[in-house]
Structure 1
Amino acid sequence: METVTADLISKARAGDSRAFRELTQPHLRELQVHCYRMLGNFQDAEDALQDTLLAAWRGLGGFQERASFRTWLYRIATNRCLNARRSAGRRPVKEWDMPNVEPPEPTRIGEVVWLQPFPDTLLEQAFGAPLGPEARYEQTEALSVAFMTALQVLPPRQIAVLILRDVLGFPAAEVAEMLDSSVESVKSALKRARAGLQQRRAAEHREPAPAAGSPAEDAIVAKFVAAYESADLDALVDLLTDDVFMSMPPMPFEYEGRDIVARFFAGIFGSGRRSDLVPTRANGQPAFAAYLRTPTGVSHGTGLFVLTLGGDRICAMTRFDNTVLPWFGLPRSLPSR
C-alpha cells in the first residue's frame, strides 16, 4: 500500500473526516457507475453510494489491508446494492401521460420499468479508473441502454459477478472475497450470467454504431431532430431500422418493428403536439430532452429520448419521463423557438 494512502487511512481511523474524503474522492464516480450498473436506477445508485460511504467511514477500523482500499470499497458497494435489490418491492408502473394521444397496443409489457438514464457528463472520471486484465466489455458498451436492460433481468448475485468479473475485470478470487463466497461458486454464477445475458441480447443483430461525436453520428441525429421538430412522420420513419425497438420506462409499453413505432409517432404528431429538442448524451449515446410547445410561448419538458444507432439508422429509442431532466442540467421549461 502506498505510503500516502496508508497515512490517510491512519488519520481517517483517528476520526479525520477530511482524510477520509481525500481517500474516497478518487473512487466516487466509478463507484456511482458501479451502483448504477447493479441497480439500473440513477436515484437508487445515489442512495447506495451514500450508504457505501457511511459504511466505509464506520467500518474503517475493520479494513485489514489484505486487498486495496479501492477493492474494499467495491466490496461494500456491491453488498449494499445486493441488499437494496433484495429489499426492493414491486416497482410501480407509470400510467400513460400524453393527453389526447391514444397509443397503439404495445408489442409487449416491459419488465425493467425502473430503468433510468445516466448522464455522460458524470462518466469522465469513472472511465479513467483501472480495469483488470480479464474485463470483456468496453466501458461504454457496458453502460448502454440495451446492455443495462438485459443485465437487470438477471438474478442479483449473477449481476454482481458479471459486472465485477467481465466489466471491471476483478480476479475471481477477489470477487469471491467480496461476496463471501468460493471461487467455484463465482465461476458457476458467471457462467449462468453470461448465458442469461447472451439469451437476452441474441436478437441484437445490428450494424456498429458510428463513433460518438463523429460526422456520421451527427448526420443521423440532425435528421432525427429535423424530422421530430417538424412532425415529419415519413422522414422520421425513414431513419428507423425494420426491427426498431422502443421502450418508455417507467411506463411498461414496448414497441418492436417499424410499422408499429410509426403508428405510435403518427398518434403523437396527429394530435397536434409539437416539440423542441435539446441535445445531451446519456449512457454513452445521443439523447434529447423534449420540450412541448404551448400557446403561451413557453415549452415544457416532457421527457428524454435516448437513441441507439446502428450504421446510418436508429435501431432503438428509449423515452424517459421528465423527472430525469435535472440530472442533465436541463430546465423543466424554456422559451419556445
Structure 2
Amino acid sequence: MIEPEIVVGIALGLLIGLPLAFYLRRRLRRGQTFSNAEIRGFAAELGARLLEQATVPGEWVQAGDDFWEQPYARAFVWRMAVFNQMVREGLISQLPAPSPVRGGAPSFQVGAQAWIAFHQARVAGAGHDGSDDGSDGLPPVPLCGCGALLDTGDPRFNLALPDPVAELSAEQQEQVVSFRSDQVVLTRTIGGFVRALLPIPLTDGRTVTLGVWISLEEDACKELTGLVRAENDATRPSFEGRLANGVEPYGDAVLAAPVTISSPATPEGFRTSRILDSTVQQVVDLLHQPRDPAEILVGERAWALRYDPADPPAQHAHH
C-alpha cells in the first residue's frame, strides 16, 4: 500500500510541476505559435538572405541588423525550430554561432551545395553578366565547384567515356569495365583507353580544349598507364593510338582515326597527354585550322558562345 506521504508528494508535484511546465513552455515560446509551413518559410527567407551575402561556398555570414525584429527571433523555441529547419535543408551546415557582442545577430555557415545551387539559379535567370534574358537560346555559363563562373575565354570540356564504352548500358559497363578514372579506362573485352587533350583553335582567337579518349594497343597501354600511375620511367616521348570519340563537326568520321599523343611524363611532372598529329586530314584540320566557334561549341558546350572579345571574362584560376 502506498504511504500517504508519497501520495501527497505526488499530488503537490503535479500541482506545482504542471503549471510550471506550461509557464516555461509559454515563456520560451513568448506566447507565439507558428505552423510548420511558417517555420519553413522563415527558414527559406533567412537562408536566401545569407546565400545572397556569401561570396564563396561555406562562408560564415552574420545575419542582418533586423534579425531580432523577425517574428520568431525572440522566442528560443521558434528560433531553434527555424535554425534546425535550415540545417535539414542544407541552407546552413551547422547551427549558428552567437554574436560576441551582446544583442548582436548570430553568424551562419552557408551550405556549400545550397550556395552553388542558389547562384546557378541566378546565373540561369540572368546570363553570365547579369544582363542576358535567355532569349538568345544559349545555356548559362555554369559554375565551377569553387563557385566561380567557368571561363568562356578558355573553354575546356572532358568527354566522360570513350564512345565504345559510352554506348554500352550501365549493366554492360559494370561487366566490361575493370578500371576507370579520369585518366584511364581499362576493359576486359575492348582494350584500354587513356585521356588526351585535343586543342582546337577558333577563329575568334580562343582555343577549345577537348579531353578525348585514345585507344591503345595492349603493350602501349600498359606502358602509358604505368606512367600515369608513376610505376614506370619514361622511355619514349610519344605513343600511337586511335581516337576513341567522335568530334564535331566531323562526328564519327574521325572515330578510330590514328593519332600520335605525347607522353604524360615530363620533366615538370605528370601532364595529361596531348594529341600531336594524325594521318587523317580531318584531325589535322582540327589541330591547325581555326574553326568557327559555332561548329565546335554545340549542345552543352554552347555556353562558351557567350564569349565577348570586347569584354573578356576574368581568367579562371583552375579547370
- Which TM-score band (shorter chain)? under 0.3
**Higher relative helix content:** 1
TM-score by length of 2: 0.22
Q: More relative contact order in 1 or in 2 (CA 8 Å, sep 6+)?
A: 1
Structure possessing the higher radius of gyration over alpha carbons: 2
TM-score by length of 1: 0.21
